[in-house]
């Protein structure tokens, strides 16, 4: 259960946390959204990558200062405890890997559950695996890996209350514990 209050400065705080790897493209996609967002938004970027990838992300962010109305806060690589606090304070978690790539059409990014367990509403590229999952109905989606599509999807989110997401994660956790206990009892009875 989050113990840190959401940002309450009247702005929507969006978080991208993860790899700066260009092949996955999530960090670059998040950054490309910034110039299209209004000043009602604050974009937080945190993550990791090679020295070259970090440098390229920082250069992209430097260029944004001149064209973005949304505030962008680059935090680089932060500790898990700092990330926990940041996730609890933000409103939207970005899972911005390209939904059209082979890998992303068949994978379920663990960051979705991590974001939700910290009270974030999640925006993700549309993917059948995510849509059919036990949390698929709570995720907001975009279909094309374009800054305009992703920005429109973020701006269409009406409810930033991540309580439903946290409740679902809690329910799933309880169900897994119950199922695991049942399996252990069944095995024990057969021994």
DSSP track, the chain: ---SPPP-SSSEEEEEEEE--TTT-HHHHHHHHGGGS-TTEEEEEEEE--HHHHHHHHHHHHHHHHH-SSEEEEEES--HHHHHHHHHH-SEEEE-S-TTSHHHHS---HHHHHHHHTT-EEEEE--HHHHTSTTGGG-EEESS-SHHHHHHHHHH-----THHHHHHHHHHHHHHHHHHHHHHHHHHHH-
Q: What is the tens place of the pLDDT at every residue in 21-75? A: 877 778 888 999 999 999 999 999 999 999 999 999 998 888 887 788 888 999 9
This prediction has a pTM of 0.87
């Amino acid at each position: 259960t989050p113990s840190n209050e959401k940002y309450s400065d009247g702005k929507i705080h969006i978080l991208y946390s993860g790899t700066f790897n260009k092949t996955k493209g999530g960090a670059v996609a998040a950054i490309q959204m910034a110039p299209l967002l209004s000043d009602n938004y604050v974009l937080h970027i945190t993550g990791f990558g090679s020295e070259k990838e970090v440098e390229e992300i920082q250069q992209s962010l430097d260029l944004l200062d001149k064209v973005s109305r949304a505030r962008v806060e680059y935090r680089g690589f932060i500790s898990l405890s700092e990330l926990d606090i940041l996730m609890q304070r933000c409103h939207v978690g970005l899972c911005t890997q390209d939904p059209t790539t082979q890998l992303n059409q068949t994978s379920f990014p663990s960051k979705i559950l991590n974001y939700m367990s910290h009270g974030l509403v999640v925006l993700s590229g549309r993917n059948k695996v995510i849509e059919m999952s036990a949390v698929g109905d709570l995720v907001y989606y975009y279909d094309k890996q374009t800054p305009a599509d992703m920005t429109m999807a973020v701006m269409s989110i009406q409810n930033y209350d991540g309580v439903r997401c946290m409740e679902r994660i809690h329910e799933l956790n309880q169900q897994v514990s119950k199922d695991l206990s049942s399996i252990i009892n069944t095995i024990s009875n057969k021994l």
